[in-house]
């Protein structure tokens, strides 16, 4: 079994959408999406600088658009997508790929999500850092004493923590023995209590969407379980903005389900890296540009 995974915020880089827009049909589609959500995805995906696309309100729609373009390209090349999951905002991408939301509704939802999270982040100066190495329980005990929260359990010895900037600075100065702390270039303490206002705003907005039950196997970030109800998955997407992402449990679920290969949609890199540490022996392909599609097809064909 091959699982197709959609990355989260922080995976974007300047110009990463450029090769996808060389296809006139894809460019026309992204123009339509841009008009729909009133975000210039073409400009931000091609010429905007790193600081501009670091903005939550821009980064999240860009990432979802890239994932949707990748899934389209795979299907146009003859690939059958049978199982899917997304990391953080990637869950919105996964919902569209699985048929829970239309592409248009996924982009509308992510625009609302991104704006709500940006507004919540603006209320208090906060951020996130990755803690690499040692036992997750020991890391959580250490950071909790500093007033920080675990935001992403990424597996493979990595936990992303979130909280106030002064507490993150203290963590950098006083890391748990055997760990390395890496500050992340994000605009707020996502997946923590600081995002409670965003969760409530998104919950109110979600009532305007009518989800369908998934057509593909899909796993949730909440606890790694497989979800068969579209309404439930949408509710989980709402809740996860202020709750930890349990990607470690997702990867364990992939292993338990017999996944032998993992294909990461654009902008790829982060999740294939985690899989190499947390899903040892699993074949991976990260799709950064359309040139990577043949490698993904070869992996899919080899698992058929």
User: CATH no. for residue 43?
Assistant: 3.40.366.10
Domain termination site, one of 150, 166, 183: 183
- For residues 164 and 290, state if they share a domain: no
- If asked whether residues 179 and 228 sit together in one domain, one would say no
Q: In this structure, are 17 and 87 located in the same domain?
A: yes
- If asked whether residues 197 and 177 sit together in one domain, one would say no
CATH number of the structural domain spanning residue 137: 3.30.70.250
Measure the CA–CA gap between 143 and 192, rounded to whole angstroms.
Answer: 13
48 is catalytic: no
Residues 291 and 230 reside in one and the same domain:
yes
| Domain end marker among 149, 183, 217 | 183
Say whether pLDDT at 270 is over 90: yes
* pLDDT tens sequence across 229-253: 999 999 999 999 999 999 999 999 9
The answer to whether the CB of 80 falls within 8 A of the CB of 297 is no
Q: Are residues 37 and 164 in the same domain?
A: no
Number of domains in the chain: 2
The yes-or-no verdict on residue 303 having pLDDT over 80 is no
End of a domain among 151, 183, 215?
183
Helix pair angle (103-123, 90-97), 10° resolution: 170
Is the same domain home to 130 and 265? no
- Asked whether residue 302 carries a pLDDT value surpassing 80, the answer given is no
Same domain, 162 and 73: no
Residue tagged active-site, from 34, 48, 88, 192: 88
Do 168 and 251 belong together in one domain?
Answer: no
What is the domain range of residue 167? 125-183
| pLDDT, averaged across the chain | 96
Alpha helical stretches, state H, the chain: 24-37, 41-46, 50-54, 56-76, 90-97, 103-123, 136-145, 165-173, 196-206, 230-239, 247-256, 270-278, 293-303
The token pair that represents 4 in the structure block: 């197709």
For the question of whether the overall pTM of this predicted structure is more than 0.85, the answer is: yes
Phi first, then psi: what are they for 72, rounded to 5°?
A: -60, -45
Contact 12, 267 (CB under 8 A): yes
* Shared-domain flag, residues 81 and 164: no
Q: Are strands 2-6 and 261-264 parallel, antiparallel or unpaired?
A: parallel
**Which of 216, 223, 218 lies closest to 239, judged by CA?**
223
Residue 142 a catalytic site member: no
> How many CB atoms are located within 10 Å of the residue 39 CB?
22
Lookup result for tokens 């055997």: 178
Q: What is the pLDDT of residue 89?
A: 97
Active-site pick, 44, 87, 142, 191: 191
Tell me the per-residue pLDDT of 158-189, one tens digit each, with 9 for 90 and over: 999 999 999 999 999 999 999 999 999 788 99
163 and 253 part of one domain: no
Question: Are 167 and 216 within one domain?
Answer: no
| pLDDT classification of 156: cutoffs 50, 70, 90 | confident
């Amino acid at each position: 079994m091959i699982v197709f995974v959609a990355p989260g915020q922080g995976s974007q880089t300047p110009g990463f959408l450029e090769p996808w827009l060389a296809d006139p049909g894809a460019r026309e589609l992204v123009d339509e999406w841009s008009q729909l959500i009133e975000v210039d995805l073409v400009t931000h995906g091609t010429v905007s600088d790193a600081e501009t696309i670091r903005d939550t309100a821009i980064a999240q729609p860009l990432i979802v658009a890239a994932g949707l373009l990748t899934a389209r390209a795979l299907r146009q090349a003859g690939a059958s997508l049978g199982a899917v999951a997304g990391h953080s905002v990637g869950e919105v991408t996964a919902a569209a790929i699985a048929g829970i939301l239309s592409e248009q509704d996924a982009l509308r939802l992510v625009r609302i999500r991104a704006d709500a999270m940006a507004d919540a982040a603006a209320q208090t100066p906060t951020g996130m850092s990755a803690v690499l190495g040692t036992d997750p329980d020991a890391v959580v005990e250490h950071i909790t004493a500093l007033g920080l929260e675990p935001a992403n359990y990424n597996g493979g010895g990595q936990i992303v923590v979130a909280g106030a900037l002064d507490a993150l600075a203290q963590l950098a100065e006083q890391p748990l023995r055997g760990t390395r702390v890496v500050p992340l270039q994000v605009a707020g303490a996502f997946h923590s209590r600081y995002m409670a206002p965003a969760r409530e705003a998104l919950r109110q907005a979600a009532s305007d969407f009518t989800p369908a039950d998934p057509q593909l196997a899909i796993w949730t970030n909440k606890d790694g379980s497989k979800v068969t109800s579209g309404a439930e998955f949408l509710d989980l997407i709402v809740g996860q903005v202020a709750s930890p992402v349990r990607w470690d449990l997702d990867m364990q679920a992939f292993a338990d389900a017999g996944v032998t290969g993992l294909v990461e949609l654009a902008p790829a890199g982060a999740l294939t890296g985690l899989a190499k540490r947390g899903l040892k022996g699993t074949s991976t392909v990260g799709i950064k540009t359309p040139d990577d599609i043949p490698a993904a097809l070869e992996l899919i064909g080899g698992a058929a």
